[in-house]
Amino acid sequence: MNAATAADFGWIRSAASVFQYALEMGYTLTLVRGISPAELLRVAGAGSRGTCEGVSELIEEHTEVLFGYEDSPESFLAGAFTVPGEGGDWTLALEFGGDLGTRPRIMEALSTGTRAVSHSSNGGKPMDFFHWYEDGELRTTFEWPADRTGSTPDELNALMLEVGLNPAGDQHPDVDTKAAVFALAERLTGVRVTEELLAQARYQTGEVPEEPVADWESVTIDVIDAHGERTYVQLRRGQL
């Protein structure tokens, strides 16, 4: 039985850890069972960029892509490789500043007939998310452990408690929530993510295009003040 807990992932906070760049810049780590790295990148719409030897080279390639744009980046680099886990081989995909593992369309497609798990952070702010998909369906997702959604938001509650997350309220101050999320992902995939694994992997890489910004027609302001008075205003694009 897999018994991973937050204590197994203290290495992510080490000043010398290869994961420090991910925590500073923001990252998404995605695990999908039974598909190849090439298939994952294809589903994500990525343009191939060859391979990188180790996470340090992946970071260099990411920086090259990032600074190749004069203004806002139009794509981000994703690196993927095969790793053994529960029920067979899994593909691990890692991005810095990307959101492949948080896009519903991609995750639904990747998880059809299988399982996909992702967790992410947007860096210094931070906003941290966890997603578990099963056969194309988002089963459990959360930013805060006590605020879960999905088709089965409570199904992981027992596992969350075991790894150090509190699904009922405030977190224990001695538990690193990010490390606990790594442990939860391992409980669901059987994949042990280590510093050595990320540092030594051979990544198949691709540029994933940013999603276009959706057009909007109006903005709604809905505020209730301290006295219970509500202000509700909808402004059309032409009024702004």
The more confident residue out of 216 and 98 is 98
Whether 1 shows a pLDDT value over 60: the answer reads no
Strand partners, 236: 218
Q: What is the pLDDT at residue 216?
A: 45
Predicted local distance difference test score (pLDDT) of residue 212:
59
Asked whether the predicted pLDDT for residue 23 surpasses 80, the reply is yes
Over 60: is that where the pLDDT of 82 sits?
A: yes
Mean pLDDT of 216-229: 59
Average pLDDT, the chain: 89
Cβ pair 29, 98 in contact under 8 A: no
pTM, entire model = 0.86
Greater confidence (215 vs 28) lies with 28
Band the pLDDT of 233: cuts 50, 70, 90: low
Nearest 10 degrees: CA dihedral of 30, 33, 37, 43?
A: -80
> Which pLDDT does position 215 carry in this prediction?
47
Q: Where are the beta strands (DSSP E) in 86-201?
A: 88-96, 115-121, 128-134, 137-142, 148-149
pLDDT of 229 strictly over 90:
no
Question: Of the ranges 60-74, 86-100, 126-140, which one carries the lowest mean pLDDT score?
Answer: 60-74
Helix (H) / strand (E) containing 49: strand 47-53
What pLDDT does 232 receive?
A: 56
Interval 202-222: pLDDT, tens: 999 999 998 754 444 555 665
The per-residue pLDDT for range 147-194, each reduced to its tens digit, is 999 999 999 999 999 999 999 988 888 899 999 999 999 999 999 999
The one-letter code for the residue type at 102 is T
Question: Greater confidence, 227 or 38?
Answer: 38
